[in-house]
Amino acid sequence: MKRTINWTEAIATMRQTIRSLTNLDEKHVIEDYSLGTKPTLPFITVHPRGSLVMPVQHMHPMHEPVDTHISITIHAETETRALDIMDNLQANLRDPEIHYQVKQRGIIIVAILDPQDRSVIGINNSEQQYGFDLQIRLERNFESDLPTIEAIDSNNEKITKN
């Protein structure tokens, strides 16, 4: 089976972009901390939501645009600190220069969705969580192992693929 979208690279690109915008290091802009040690506050989790939407239907998945969502959550010691980081980050992700930079790496920022409080009441009152979903567009490329027919000769008439 051929791989169509490099999810690891897409998430790594967005984590790198967020690190440069927030001045947080790689230990504080992570995909998930459930399997390891929780970083010191503040930190940001960046992970795919797993949803795929094809904004334009194609007959085959070659150079097919695909929209998906990345969940971005800011974890901070106070509500105002979490709000401050979230608001600054979403504003910077709307900047045309940032759009240009990530587009050079194959990602189009489509929209920032649902900025909100993501804190869980009663679970951990010493940590505030605010976040949003980032809708991005990637290009799915697929190459089949099956041969393609480029031309057919039939009754001395050549039919070619357009």
Mean pLDDT of 46-67: 74
The string of pLDDT tens digits covering residues 103-148 is 999 999 999 999 999 887 765 567 899 999 999 999 877 665 666 6
Residue 162 has pLDDT above 60, yes or no: no
Please state the φ and ψ torsions of residue 101, each to the nearest 5 degrees: -60, -45
CA distance 37 to 24: 17
pLDDT given at position 75: 95
Mean pLDDT of 21-31: 95
Better pLDDT: 50 or 161: 50
Q: Vertex 27, ends 23 and 30: CA angle to 5°?
A: 95
CA distance 162 to 83: 54
Give, to the nearest 10 degrees, the angle between helix 7-22 and helix 79-93.
110
The string of pLDDT tens digits covering residues 95-106 is 999 999 999 999
Q: How confident is the model at residue 63 (pLDDT cuts 50, 70, 90)?
A: confident
Kindly report the pTM of this predicted structure.
Answer: 0.80
The string of pLDDT tens digits covering residues 39-48 is 999 999 998 8
Q: Measuring CA to CA, which residue among 14, 6, 12, 1 is closest to residue 102?
A: 14
